[in-house]
Structure 1
Amino acid sequence: MAATGACFVTGGCWSVFRRDMKSATGGLRTNPISVSTRPSTMSSEQALAPRVEEKEGIEKTISKRFEDMEVSEVERRSLQDYFQQSKDLSRSDGGPPRWFSPLECGTRLENSPLLLFLPGIDGVGLGLSMHHHRLGQIFDIWCLHIPVMDRTPFTELVKLVERTVRSENFHSPNKPIYLVGESLGGCLALAVAARNPDIDLALILANPATSFGKSPLQPLIPLFDVMPDQLNLGVPYVLSLMTGDPLRMVMTTAEKGLPLQQTVGEISEGLGALSAYLSVLSDILPQETFLWRLKMLSSASAYVNSRLHAVKAEILILSSGKDHFLSSQEEAERLCHVLPKCKIRKFANSGHFLFLEDGIDLVTIIKGVNFYRRAKYHDYVSDYIPLVPSEFRQATEEYRWLTIATSPVMLSTMEDGKIVRGLAGIPSEGPVLFVGYHMLLGLELAPMVLQFLAERNILLRGIAHPMMFNRLRSGILPELSTFDTFRVFGAVPVSGSYFYKLMSSKSHILLYPGGMREALHRKGEEYKLFWPESSEFIRMAARFGAKIVPFGVVGEDDIGQVVIDYDDLMKIPYFRAQIKDLTNESVILRTESSGDVANQDVHLPGVLPKIPGRFYYFFGKPIETEGRKHELRDKEKAHELYLHAKSEVESCIAYLKERRKGDPYRNLFPRLFYQATHGFTTEVPTFDL
């Protein structure tokens, strides 16, 4: 097996709450924190409705078919919803800290792990309200609520959370427990992890307050201590952290260029919302509570920093670039150097309350980092969470200009051998194995994967190079976050076991036998296959009766030309040393192979861009392996079929190279003129079939 080449080079290429006590809990079902008491998560209507059987598995529980997902994707909640729910919850604020479970969470997956949300300075516990629906499909969610007038010290909060963690670990010792903490909650999560290194914990920390000593509010604590309660300057400050700049909400509306009457209406509505936000924040964070929480942050930061050496948990840190409360990005780097199993994702334009911002989707982030698991280790197949329409739209927008510039033409072959435009000839039922040519820099990947989803609702699960998933050491390779989109779309690292699992799950699998050597080819090697001598995938395909679809892609010579290749770079000492360093940062594949395909050195060739031409894809007639399992155990028979598949790929490439000569819209300018006259959403014609 091989990886999907060196795609890293291109970077981007790719609620309702129900009340138990209607007059008290403000839309929540709550319980005091206790080892023996668990939050109730089911409303009376839910109790009467039949539940989806958990054994149906991840694919059936979350998603039926891609085109049906729009129906199930609910409208995202807003900051206004957060404030309204916070107002309801703060109406009855007596009692100790307690857990509650959001009732709008959907039916969970089988064996879903527990997620404990630990709030920030507001203490409400609704910081994930914009994410409850999607998170509730893959987690059992409990949120910690710290009442406004509660004065439980930080160390006691740590013990309360710790008791819950130990109790749930006792009930389900083979499942991880997720601790999601923002700001103060991040300190809580780290403290619990330091005290429980033997429990399987996965921490997601959003702007953790371990750097509170550097916060601009730290020296102002004495001033707040003597300030009259009536001023309560903490409220507008916290509001500015949640909205960036409160006036920005109004100014953004004025800059939209809407009709005057509509602009005035929206500005009035925005000013009214700001006034309401200030009122709610005054209830959530009165001056005395705000001061208490600031002092707690100070003690929490000192407590955790003295115990970081004891933290053994798996950690994902989400850091904001415009956090005016904490030096979050610097702190994330510091923590990552101290903590052994730590990953960072950066959000340059986000503020302190990351989870309350539009455009932030925690489930998508978790998927991109491969941070979701239901057992001790992450499984790229059984733990994969299917796409939702918003993720598809985001990827489509990300690669929009590549698609416009290359205007892909896709051809497929029907069972009777007829060639048609589009993907009608692609088998609907898996397992199906796609084997083909890996274009320069892997540029063909994004348009192909997106078109399969858009036209046929088929997700191609790519078998990819390990450098897209982990590194042996840090260095000059692109950050792993560069490949988050690929992981969201189901890429798995090259592995015999994962190939087997994808086959057994009847997936549509994308495999490039030429791997990195093909995607980083030399000058004059375009459209040349670099397949191994051994028939790597044939017997596995025959074992499951998979259809093998050979395909070819051309067009790289229409968008760029290699002018400096691997051989040129190796002649220069500086670049030779750089190539060695790059290669040593990642796992090296095919060390046992010989010949060209064994050269997996990582490098970036020099490419001279051209005025964009067009990409052409041709999927040949599927090769059947059903019923040939015993026949193809014979090495000679398997190798014969392997060579046949390779020959079919070469035939597809040759067909495209010849037929594209007759395409009047092969060049960019005729295509743009056609779209200008027929509409930019119109499909541009190509050569006659």
Structure 2
Amino acid sequence: MAATGACLFPPVFSPARRRRTEASAAAGSNQNPRLSSSSTRRFAVSTEQASSSAAAAATATTFPSSRPVSFGENGRSPERYGEKASDGSSPTPFMEDVELESGRERLRRFFDEAKDLTRADGGPPRWFSPLECGSRLEKSPLLLYLPGIDGTGAGLNSQCKKLGKIFDVWCLHIPVMDRSSFLDLVRMVERTIKAETYRSPNRPIYLVGESLGGCLALAIAARNPDIDLLLILANPATSFEKSQIQPLLPLLELMPEQLQLSYPFILSLMAGDPSRTFKASTEKGLPPQQTVGELSKDLLTMPSYISVLADILPKETLLWKLQMLQSASAYTNSRIHAVKAQTLLLISGKDQLLPSLAEGTRLDDALQRSDLRKFDDCGHFLFLEEGFDLVTMIKCVSFYRRGKSLNYVSDYLPPTPAESKKPCESNRWFDEITGAVMLSTLEDGRIVRGLDGIPSEGPVLYVGYHMLLGLELVPMVIRFLNQRNILLRGIAHPMLFEKYKKGQTLQPEFYDTFRLMGATPVSGTNLFKLLSSKSHVLLYPGGMREALHRKGEEYKLFWPEQSEFVRMAVRFGAKIVPFGTVGEDDFGEVIFDYDDQMKIPYFRDQIRQMTEEYAKVRTNATGEVANQDVHLPWIRPKFPGRFYYLFGKPIETAGRKQELKDREKSHELYLQVKSEVEGCMAYLREKRESDPHRSIFSRLMYRATHGSTSEIPTFEP
């Protein structure tokens, strides 16, 4: 049935009673012209007495607004991502784009919806879900938003449209005059998660806590270590005792209501840094006059928000919330050691309310399973900040799952076109410097420029040479996306998915783009799942040993002696595309390698420490390929030359199951693929000598005379 009216979420009901209540609510909505009107936007709400130890009866409350909404049947779209379209065409590798609001639009939306929520205020704390959060994936996990000091629950609404594609979103609303204690709120949320866990025992529950809500989430996780919770904490208020606000509490108590100076301060924190808004406007290509006009309009609008803030946080409520922060911080800090839930810490660098930078580091050290991401230019109200995208952040840290454990294939959320565009643009300089030449082989054996010889339909397994430091990856992934609309799922070393450790050479953010674009930890199980899902899989048999090679080992393959991928490819009838890459020797030269570093005690100890911290791969392998110690060679750069790629003729494995069950036949195909890769590199090394634009200077001259978008010629294939 179409959800045209208020949809109840009574978290403490049994499943049977829940279904009856939803049915009766929907039926009642059809009889109420106000609820069925398409000219209003509504919130689905359930209420519960926070102070009662027994489950309280839920009642529905509807908040009108001026924006229409469409809500699919049962909150789900008819198609799920990754499925074929109704016309039978191939699925797109991308998720649907959801346009993000600007910082000023987020602030306006917050105050519009906070005003609506407080207009019908009263009663105990309750859950609501914006009805625009429809169109979810199958078996979407539940996401509970726990608000900050404002208590309205509207702080996440700028993110909800995109979150609603992959989560079942509920937001906690704490009425203005409610005086539930921190422990009352903890118990209320506990009842909800216990009821939902009973109803869907295999579905994880996400707690997104902002400021005060961060304390709530941590306290609940500490009290319920056996419930499958994932925490996302934005500037949690566990450091409130060190806040510059705490010494001002006595002054706020003495200050008359009409002289409250806290509202302009809070508003300035919510509005964020104006320079970020100006920068975002210029990046969008808006003329300076329009940007200045928008900022001037914001200055005129700001005073109207102060009256809404006064309604949300009157003096008595503000003092109550600040006192609650004190007790919440103390209660939570005493139980941090008991938190076992996987946690994502989102920390702002310019938080003027709390010392969040120092607190984020402390919590990251104290929590057993945490990831930390810092946003240097953002303020306390992170979800309202210009450009912040919670869903993208969740993708970047592989923090999304729909079952008891993370499945890197079925739980993977492909990037949206906008998400894939950002890393492409940020790495465009490298793509330009390398001047990549892509060659592929057609069915008749002809070598052509471009990727026309690449199979369109998966499963496809690309097997090739791993250039020094994996430098070939960026141009290759960009060209596959732009030219063929193909998302390569790379089989990667486990270190890309491990928690950052002190002393590590690279910061954790370095790997976020790899995870966003589909990197998967190396394992036979993950290769099986990728091929079974008809993906385009990128595999380097030489692994880290090849990418971190020694001096004088350019273009040398370090493959295992035995076949590792052939029989898996044959099982699914995957096409195997051998490929070679050339050009690293025109960009740099290894001058301080693994052998050199192992002679120096400091570097030797560092290499052993980092290697021990990461999951080992190929533990049963012998020889060179088994030597995969984690280190970073020193490289002397050269004047850039050019990268060359040759993708060989696809090798069909479909229909060869019986033939390749024989280990000798399988090994023959393995050696054939290896020989093809070596042949591709030999071809490129010979042909590049006749490339008139191998030097970067020659390419710059060509672009200067023929235009910046012109394709630079190369040798004749």
TM more than 0.5:
yes
Q: 1:531 to 1:277 in 2, by over 3 A?
A: same
Aligned partner of 2:252 in structure 1 is 224
Match of 1:606 among 621, 634, 644: 634
Shift of 1:38: 9.3
Partner of 2:209: 181
CA gap of 1:477–1:67, structure 2 versus 1, over 3 A, is closer
Q: Report the counterpart of residue 45 of structure 2 in structure 1.
A: 30
Counterpart in 1 of 2:375? 347
What residue in structure 2 maps to residue 11 of structure 1? none
Q: Which deviates further from its counterpart, 272-281 or 288-297?
A: 272-281
Q: Say yes or no: does 1:434 pair with 2:486.
A: no
Partner residue of 2:545? 517
Of 499, 502, 506 in structure 2, the residue corresponding to residue 478 of structure 1 is 506
Aligned to 1:193: 221
Q: 1:309 aligns with which of 337, 340, 353?
A: 337
Partner AA of 2:145 in structure 1: F
1:584-627 per-residue CA deviation (whole Å, 9 max, x = no partner) reads 22123223222221211122112110111111111000011111
- 2:681 match: secondary structure: helix
Q: CA deviation at 1:477?
A: 4.0
Map 1:124-203 onto structure 2 (within 5 A): 124-203=152-231
SS at match of 1:617: strand
CA contact (8 A) 2:144 2:172 kept: yes
1:284 paired residue number: 312
Distance (Å, rounded) in 2 between the aligned partners of 1:590 and 1:50? 45
2:21 corresponds to which residue?
Answer: none
What SS does the corresponding residue of 2:256 show, helix, strand or coil?
coil
Residue 44 of structure 2 aligns to which amino acid in structure 1?
A: R
Q: In structure 2, the residue corresponding to 1:591 is in which secondary structure?
A: coil
Q: Which residue of 1 aligns with 2:438?
A: 410
Shift in CA distance, 419/591, structure 1 to aligned 2, threshold 3 Å:
same
Q: Deviations over 1:315-364 (max 9, x none)?
A: 11111111111111211222222222222112122111111112211111
Letter in structure 2 aligned against 1:597:
V
- Change in 2 beyond 3 A, CA 1:120/1:18: farther
CA positional deviation for 1:653: 0.6
1:381-427, Cα deviation, whole Å (9 max, x unpaired): 11101110121111112212211111111111111112121111111
SS at 1:29 equivalent: strand
Distance, in Å, in 2 between the alignment partners of 1:333 and 1:198 is: 26
Instruction: Give the CA deviation at 1:60.
Output: 5.6
Matched, 1:396 2:424: yes
C-alpha displacement at 1:45, in angstroms? Answer: 5.4
CA distance in 1, matches of 2:59, 2:655: 53
Relative to structure 2, which stretch is displaced further, 343-352 or 581-590? 581-590
Asked whether the equivalents of residues 57 and 110 of structure 1 are also in contact (C-alpha less than 8 Å), the reply is no
Match of 1:323 in 2: 351
Instruction: Determine if the alignment matches structure 1 residue 382 to structure 2 residue 407.
Output: no
**1:682 match:** 710
Q: How does 1:575-654 map to 2 (within 5 A)?
A: 575-654=603-682
What displacement does 1:464 show? 0.5
Is the 8 Å Cα contact of residues 214 and 327 (structure 1) preserved in structure 2?
yes
Q: Are the aligned partners of 2:551 and 2:593 in contact in 1 as well (CA < 8 Å)?
A: yes
Give distance in 1, aligned partners of 2:716 and 2:375. Answer: 47
Residue 447 in structure 1 maps to residue 475 in structure 2 = yes
> Which secondary structure does the structure 2 equivalent of 1:120 belong to?
coil
Give the 3 Å change call, closer, same or farther, for CA 106–613 of structure 1 in structure 2.
farther
Q: 1:50 to 1:592 in 2, by over 3 A?
A: closer
- Give the 3 Å change call, closer, same or farther, for CA 38–548 of structure 1 in structure 2: farther
**Contact residue 194 and residue 312 of structure 1 kept, 8 A:** yes
Does residue 46 (structure 1) correspond to residue 71 (structure 2)? The answer is yes
Question: What SS is found at the alignment partner of 2:232?
Answer: strand
How far residue 210 of structure 1 moved from its aligned partner, in angstroms, is 0.7
Greater relative contact order (Cα 8 A, min sep 6): structure 1 or 2? 1
Aligned partner (choices 60, 74, 84) of residue 99 of structure 2: 74
Q: Against the structure 1 CA distance between its residues 575 and 310, is the aligned structure 2 distance closer, same or farther, given a 3 Å change threshold?
A: closer
1:422 aligns with 2:450: yes
TM-fit CA distance, 1:255: 13
Per-residue deviation, 1:165: 0.9
Contact kept, 8 Å, 1:18 with 1:28, in 2: the verdict is: no
Other-structure match for 2:559 = 531
- Candidates 447, 456, 460, aligned match of 2:484: 456
Q: CA deviation at 1:48?
A: 6.6
Return the alpha-carbon distance in structure 2 between the equivalents of residues 254 and 467 of structure 1: 37
Quote the residue 1:466 is aligned against: 494
Q: Which residue does 1:4 correspond to in 2?
A: none
| Maintained 8 Å contact 1:27/1:89 | no
Distance 1:505 1:47, change over 3 A: closer
Give the secondary structure class of the aligned counterpart of 2:307: helix
Percent identity over the alignment is 62
Residue 111 of structure 1 deviates from its aligned partner by 1.1
Q: Distance in 2 between matches of 1:68 and 1:512?
A: 24
Alignment partner for residue 117 of structure 2, among 80, 89, 99?
Answer: 89
Q: CA deviation at 1:441?
A: 0.5
Equivalent residue, structure 1, for 2:20: none
Task: Give the distance between the partners of 1:295 and 1:437, measured in 2 at CA.
Answer: 61
- Which letter maps to 2:477? V
CA 1:47/1:514 → structure 2, altered by over 3 Å: closer, same or farther? closer
Distance 1:277 1:18 in 2: 29
Between the aligned partners of 1:687 and 1:182, the Cα distance in structure 2 is 57
Check conservation: 1:31, 1:98, Cα contact below 8 A: yes
SS at match of 2:156: coil
Q: 1:180 to 1:597 in 2, by over 3 A?
A: same
Matches of 1:98 and 1:585, distance apart in 2: 44
**Counterpart for residue 52 of structure 2:** none
Map of 2:393 onto structure 1: 365
Residues 1:606 and 1:245: Cα distance change in structure 2 (over 3 Å): closer
For 2:410 and 2:292, the matched residues in 1 are separated by 52
Find the residue that maps to 2:157 and give its secondary structure: coil
Q: Shift of residue 128 of structure 1?
A: 1.5
Instruction: Tell which deviates more after alignment, 300-309 or 245-254.
Output: 245-254
What's the CA shift for 1:130? 1.9
Once the two structures are superposed, residues 234-263 of structure 1 have per-residue CA deviations (whole angstroms, 9 ceiling, x without a partner) of 211111211235698689989999878646
Give the stretch that moved more between structures: 28-37 or 297-306.
28-37
Which residue does 1:545 correspond to in 2? 573
Aligned with 2:577: secondary structure? strand
Distance 1:51 1:183 in 2: 31
Name the residue aligned to 2:293.
265
Q: Secondary structure at the match of 2:537?
A: strand
**Superimposed CA distance per residue, residues 124-171 of structure 1 (whole angstroms, 9 cap, x where no aligned partner):** 112211211221111100001112222222111111111111111110
Contact map agreement 1:26 1:89 (CA 8 A) in 2: no
**CA displacement at 1:569 relative to structure 2:** 2.1
| In structure 1, C-alpha distance between the alignment counterparts of 2:419 and 2:664, rounded to whole Å | 44
- Aligned position for 2:596: 568
**Cα 1:253/1:376, change in 2 over 3 Å:** closer
Quote the Cα distance in structure 2 between the aligned partners of 1:48 and 1:594.
56
What's the TM-score once normalised by structure 2's chain length? Answer: 0.88
1:100-119 deviation per Cα after TM superposition (whole angstroms, max 9, x unaligned): 11122241111111100000
Q: Does 1:206 align with 2:234?
A: yes
Q: Classify the secondary structure of the residue corresponding to 2:155.
A: coil
In 1, the alpha carbon distance for the partners of 2:712 and 2:172 equals 55
Q: Which 5+ residue runs of structure 2 have no aligned equivalent?
A: 7-28, 50-54, 63-67
